[in-house]
Amino acid sequence: MTTITKQNTTPAVHEADLRRVRNSGIKKVLGYAVLLIFAVIYLYPFAIQIATSFKDDPQAAAHPLSIIPNPFDLSAWKRMFGLTSDSSVPIMTWLGNSVLVTVIVTAARVFFDSLAGYALSRLHFRGRGFLFAAVLAVMSVPGVALLVPKFLIVTYLGIYDTYAAMIFPLLIDAAGVFIMKQFFDSVSVSIEEAARMDGAGVFRTFWSVVLPMARPALITLTILAFQGSWNEFSHFLVVTQSANHKTLITGLAGLTSGSLGAGTQFPLKMGAALLTTIPVAILFFTFQRYFVRGANEGGEKG
């Protein structure tokens, strides 16, 4: 009797398993379909941006949503790279300014924010708690509230509309100090004590022992500093005036039909916008795994 019952229930069990597998497969297909739809919606504007930069002006105005340039035209890119006689839009000068400012600001933020974060985490001095509270307070102040003081200070110092005005106010970032301070708090003090027993000073311990361990935090800080300085707009708008000191972001914001000549000049605008997107995208996708790993490690330690 028991054998008959097992034989009768076995097909039912198999059917239930097959039904479960079939339902799971359908859900997976539907899930991928939804993700594909959202991916197309998200990427389509970027495809339009790339395609428009390879169109001529009449075609871009007549078919702005087409992702197939017909005919394929390089005039916008030739104009951006100075390969034509028209030099009214110094995009390469703006690109050079963006690269110069971003490289200096990123390197300085990584170095100075690490030093400040280590000092707040490890050095015991009077007023350390107040300084850390001041860092948190600065983080809570909207950037737009500092625009007028920045303008007044750079004007008083006589560096208005110079590279110094573009770079010096951005060399240190409160958020970067906070990130590095929190990471150094998670590092065991015993590692530094062993280094000091071997005769290493404070800076030598920081530079040779602790800083190499902070690679996830440093990569995170590098990405944030690069993206923040590359995409900075309001600061450069306030402390600069001449076209020779514009960056890609401020220059792109000033591209209007009146300043570019006849037509909408959509290909030139989209090409310049594409130039501003490429460096940040390359940096993020190159260090994405370290960025995510650093966030996960921070979550686990927290």
Residues in the chain: 302
**Structural domain total, the chain:** 2
Q: Which residue has the tokens 């005005």?
A: 165
Phi, psi of 22 (to 5 degrees): -65, -45
- 139 and 270: one domain? yes
The torsion angle over the Cα atoms of residues 64, 69, 71 and 77, rounded to 10 degrees, is 90
Where b means 16+ CB within 10 Å and e means fewer, 132-141 reads: beebeeeeee
State the pLDDT at residue 98. 93
Same-domain status, 143 and 265: yes
Residue where one domain finishes, among candidates 80, 110, 143: 80
* Neighbour-count burial for 39-62, b at 16+ CB within 10 Å, e otherwise: eeeeeeeeebbebbbbbbbebbee
Inside any domain, residue 85: no
Give per-residue pLDDT as tens, 109-142. 999 999 999 999 888 888 888 988 988 888 888 8
Instruction: Look at residue 138 in the predicted model and tell me its pLDDT.
Output: 87
- Residue 10 sits in which domain range? 2-80
Residues 76 and 220 in one domain: no
For tokens 């790279």, the residue is 81
pLDDT band at 301 (very low <50, low <70, confident <90, very high): very low
Whether 117 is covered by a domain: the verdict is yes
Same domain (yes/no): 138, 243: yes
Do the domain assignments include residue 104? Answer: yes
Express as a percent the part of the chain with pLDDT over 90: 25
Cβ atoms < 10 Å from Cβ of 82 = 14
Specify the pLDDT at position 106.
95
**Strand segments (E) across 128-244:** none
pLDDT tens digits, one per residue of 235-284: 999 999 888 899 989 888 877 544 555 557 888 888 888 888 888 888 87
Q: What is the mean pLDDT of residues 201-226?
A: 88
Claim to verify: residue 62 and residue 121 sit in the same structural domain? no
**Are residue 99 and residue 203 in the same domain, yes or no?**
yes
CB contact set of 301 (below 8 Å; sequence gap of 6+): 186
Residue 178's pLDDT is 93
CB 170, CB 176: distance < 8 Å: no
**pTM confidence score:** 0.79
CATH number of the domain bearing residue 120: 1.10.3720.10
Question: Based on the domain organization, do 65 and 104 belong to the same domain?
Answer: no
Which of 28, 61, 80 is a domain's end point? 80
Judge residue 79's burial from the number of C-beta atoms within 10 Å of its C-beta, 0-12 exposed, 13-18 middle, 19 or more buried: buried
Pair (101, 76) in one structural domain: no
- Within this chain, do residues 113 and 64 fall inside the same structural domain, yes or no? no
Cα–Cα distance, 64 to 73 (Å, whole number):
15
Same-domain check for residues 73 and 134: no
HSE, CB side, 13 Å, CA atoms: give it for residue 288: 6
